[in-house]
Copies of this chain bind each other. A is one copy, B any other.
């Protein structure tokens, strides 16, 4: 077993010990403990604890910094995973997706309206293809947030 696999196992162990499926680690400390380069932790996090594997990562720099690993109780549905992977999103696509999310009860009316506002072309005053790329980023970030917030629940987004 290579280092990355070992680190993965270690983190999963920590997650198992925690009832809330949230674990905070200190990157340099952990790297030291496991005898690897700090950036290796990032590598493991991006390859093994990605969004579409059902994990979310948050972090903070500076004094008192940390990396927080959150395990979602359910993996996102096929449709959502598809949405998460788009590199570009047109205005029309975004509107369809928001409508879908709203229809299935993942978004309240207000939340849907907020999302529409954030990805509207008249708001994102940028040229193409930049606009569709930024829209994709915004949409993904918002969707990820929804997933995280409903992560405590059971029914899969």
Contact = CB atoms under 8 A, between A and B. Distances in A.
A118 B146 contact: no
A126 interface: yes
Copies in the complex: 2
A145 interface: yes
A64 B5 contact: yes
Interface string A119-149: 0100111100010011001101110111011
Given A64-B5, A111-B111, A125 B137 contact: yes
A54 B124 CA distance: 23
A28 to B, nearest CB: 15
Given A123-B138, A134-B126, A141-B118, A149 B63 contact: no
A128 B26 CA distance: 31
A64 B1 contact: yes
A144 B137 CA distance: 22
A27 to B, nearest CB: 16
A146 B1 contact: no
A4 to B, nearest CB: 8
Given A115-B118, A117-B141, A125-B137, 4 more contacts: A114-B114, A114-B115, A118-B118, A124-B134
